[in-house]
Amino acid sequence: LSRREGVTLFMTLLAGWQTLLARYSGDSESTVGTPIANRQRVATEHLIGFFVNTLVMRASLPPDITFKSLLKQVQETALGAYAHQDLPFEKLVEELQPERSLSHTPLFQVMFALQNAPSGVLETAGLKLTLASHELEEMSAKFDLFLSLEETGAASRARCATTQTCSPKRPSAV
């Protein structure tokens, strides 16, 4: 499907996730946060350190939208977000000045991540690093709902975490 529609696996999975959220909550919009490695500059590619930023992906899902149309919308949103990935999430929040609450994060309450970094062993100049995949057992949610998918070659893994505030009785949290 991704290949046929000219989108990435991430975009297809995000569109599916946003469809599920919209149908579950009854909302016609879905806003999801997603982490991005933020290493688009050649100077940072080989640096060790934490360069992750958060992007906000919004989709409009009217009842009559086709999945093909949604994929195109998600593609446009993602490419636009990637073009501005250097803007720190905190700066975006500062500029937009959304209504703040201690009960949830600003701009979105649902996080989606696709981990596709290679795992294995890396050896260079007498240094041996083991790149481990993310452990599935221990995961706590910093958001109302967090879906993390991991590409691991031939197989893929998924994990999901929720906070206690996320429930069917409070669909607006989703």
Asked whether 33 and 55 are in contact (CB, 8 A), the reply is: yes
Q: Helix, strand, or coil here: 3? A: helix
Which residues, including other chains, have CB under 8 Å from residue 84's CB and lie 6 or more apart?
none
Residues in Cβ contact with 137 at an 8 Å cutoff, skipping those fewer than 6 apart: none
Which strand (E) or helix (H) includes residue 110? Answer: strand 110-115
**Cα separation values, 13 from 52, 117, 146, Å:** 20, 17, 14
Report the predicted TM-score, pTM, of the whole model to 2 decimal places.
0.72
User: pLDDT per residue over 99-108, tens digit each?
Assistant: 877 666 778 8
User: Please, where are the H alpha helices in 29-126?
Assistant: 67-83, 89-96
Q: Alpha carbon of 133 to those of 68, 120, 156: distances in Å?
A: 32, 8, 11
pLDDT higher than 60, residue 85 = yes
Distance between CA atoms of 74 and 32, rounded to whole angstroms? 11
Longest dimension (CA), the chain: 59
Quote the CA–CA distance of 21 and 114 in Å, as a whole number. Answer: 17
pLDDT at 147 over 90: no
Task: Give the integer Cα–Cα distance in Å for 26 and 40.
Answer: 37
pLDDT exceeding 70 applies to what percent of the chain? 64
> How do residues 30-84 score in pLDDT, each as one tens digit?
999 999 876 666 666 666 666 788 999 999 999 999 999 999 999 999 999 999 8
Q: Tens of pLDDT along 125-144?
A: 777 655 555 444 445 557 77
> What Å distances lie between residue 168 and 20, 38, 145, CA to CA?
13, 35, 12
The answer to whether residue 149 scores a pLDDT higher than 90 is no
pLDDT at 168 over 50: no
